[in-house]
Amino acid sequence: LHGAALSLPIAVLVVVSAVVIGSLLGAISGFVGGLTGAAIMRLVDVTLSFPPMLLAMAVAASLGPGLGNAAIAMVLVWWPVYARLMRAQVLEVKEREHVEAAIAAGARPRRVLFTHILPLCWTPVLISATMDLGQVVLLAASLSFIGLGATPPTPEWGSMISDGAVHFYQWWIAFGPGVAILTIVLGFNFIGDGLRDILDPRSD
């Protein structure tokens, strides 16, 4: 229970940071287009070409062990997902008639993007972010397990499981954090599914 006070805020911080960075860059890419949009998406493609765990390990190892460095590594891994998702939404919404009417009325590009486009693009991002919270908890625990995240005596679930792996005959050391991670991941997945059913009925 004490580990939840550390693992959950880190997951929320990572997902919120990734959503802000990725959504902003994805919106710019989809709305502006041209060389700017192409450059952003090529950066996204390069980042997504690496397995998330491998890339997070490489970044965390280069920065050094610690929960803060692990959080930075996870943000660098996760933001491209939201950039691609937001770009797809912006490309679809900006072709709607109300956006064309706003442009014809002389609205500035910034106002068109932030007032007429982005408010209609957040539903898939919100659903994805909710479901990703559990995956970030799992990735943070994985980094701590191999010594690239939280270090003892920090009460982080992955670090606790690592201690349990060393003292395998004392199974209860790893059992509690393992059940906590399983519960959190399942819980966030169920919340994400519920939000999808509520916010996007067409998904059925």
Pair of tokens at residue 144: 């701590």
Q: Which residue reads 């996007």 in tokens?
A: 200
- Single-letter amino acid code for the residue at 11: A
- Is residue 38 packed enough to be buried (19+ CB in 10 Å), middle (13-18) or exposed (0-12)? exposed
Segment 26-50 shows an average pLDDT of 90
CB 12 within 8 A of CB 20: no
User: Residue 106 and residue 18: Cα distance in Å, rounded?
Assistant: 33
Domains of the chain by residue range = 4-203
- In sequence order, what are the residues at sequence separation of 6 or more whose Cβ sits closer than 8 angstroms to the Cβ of residue 14? 71, 74, 75, 78, 136, 140
Q: Which of 14-23, 103-112, 136-145 is modeled with the greatest confidence? A: 14-23
Asked whether residue 204 carries a pLDDT value surpassing 60, the answer given is: no
- What are the tens digits of pLDDT across the range 68-126? 888 899 999 899 999 999 999 998 888 888 888 888 888 888 888 888 888 888 888 88
Cα separation values, 179 from 3, 47, 172, Å: 12, 32, 11
- What are the tens digits of pLDDT across the range 45-59? 999 888 888 888 888
**Other Cβ atoms closer than 10 A to 21:** 17
The more confident residue out of 112 and 170 is: 112
pTM of the model: 0.85
Asked whether residue 201 carries a pLDDT value surpassing 60, the answer given is: no
Segment 145-171 shows an average pLDDT of 78
The alpha carbon dihedral of 27, 30, 34, 40 has a sign of: positive
- Assigned CATH topology for domain 4-203: MetI-like fold (1.10.3720)
pLDDT band at 200 (very low <50, low <70, confident <90, very high): low
